[in-house]
Amino acid sequence: MARFDTAYGSPPLSKTRQIQTVGAVHHRFLWIHPFLDGNGRVARLMSHALFKRLGIGTSLWSVARGLARDETRYKALLAQADGPREGDRDGRGNLTQRGLVEFCKFFLERSVDQIRFMSGLLEPATLLTRMEIHIEEEVRTKRLQRGSFAVLREAVMGGEVERSKIPALTGFEERTARNVTSALVERGILTASTHRAPLRLAFPADVAERWFPNLYPASAGSRS
């Protein structure tokens, strides 16, 4: 584990090469198998965390889903990468480099597949438009206050919104800006770990159909 940490903890590699190594980290951790149980879950969580650390992962997608959808090949390639080195042209360690490369290719393919799946499902290019239409309706019915969309847009684009920025975003004085924030939090659209922490989107169930109309099939509620 010490060698594993040295090799993959903070490797002196370009960002592209670090992305390529996430699959190698996944396999090597499972090959070491440090725990009696739960190694697979830890490996999948660690892979997700590594992607997020590299700035390409979000909470909306995970490579774990892609691996689960092709479990047979996933396990076969893991086992293949466990094999011993096959001659002088197969890397420099005890394990096969050729097998590891094949697993890493598969791992990246599954990751890209999940990004494409979620992009097509959520239609991020039009997400802000759908949100704006919905929030305008909420403002007209007085369930939310004017300025709400500006705060939500910042949360979408930046991942979170600092409370100190809300007066400037809404164009309101501090007290009125706090009322905008409070309404969004009470509505369940924004959330925070503490009353001083930055705010982030919360996706309550009652807005999912409006913001993400293709998230569930139209017939999901019917039985045919």
Q: What is the DSSP letter of 204?
A: -
206 labeled binding residue: no
For residues 15 and 109, membership in a common domain is answered with yes
189, 202 in Cβ contact below 8 A? yes
**Is residue 195 among the annotated active site residues?**
no
Residue 201 DSSP SS3: strand
| Residues ≥6 apart with Cβ < 8 Å to 38 | none
User: Does 18 fall in a domain?
Assistant: yes
In a domain, residue 220? The reply is no
Q: Tell me the chain's radius of gyration from C-alpha atoms.
A: 23
- Does residue 216 fall inside a structural domain? no
Give the residue from 106, 121, 136 where a domain finishes: 121
148 shares a domain with 110: no
Is 42 one of the annotated binding-site residues?
yes
Is residue 202 marked as binding? no
Q: Is 113 annotated as a binding residue?
A: no
Here the CATH number for the domain that contains residue 192 is: 1.10.10.10
Domain that holds residue 97: 2-121
Within-domain flag for 115 = yes
Same domain, 22 and 87: yes
221 belongs to a structural domain: no
- The tens place of each residue's pLDDT in the chain, 224 residues long, gives 999 998 888 888 899 999 999 999 999 999 999 999 999 999 999 999 999 889 887 776 789 989 999 999 999 999 999 999 999 999 988 999 999 999 999 999 999 999 888 888 778 778 899 999 999 999 999 999 999 999 999 998 888 999 999 999 999 999 999 999 999 999 999 999 998 899 999 888 888 888 888 765 544 443 33
Instruction: Point out the catalytic residue in the list 26, 27, 33, 195.
Output: 33
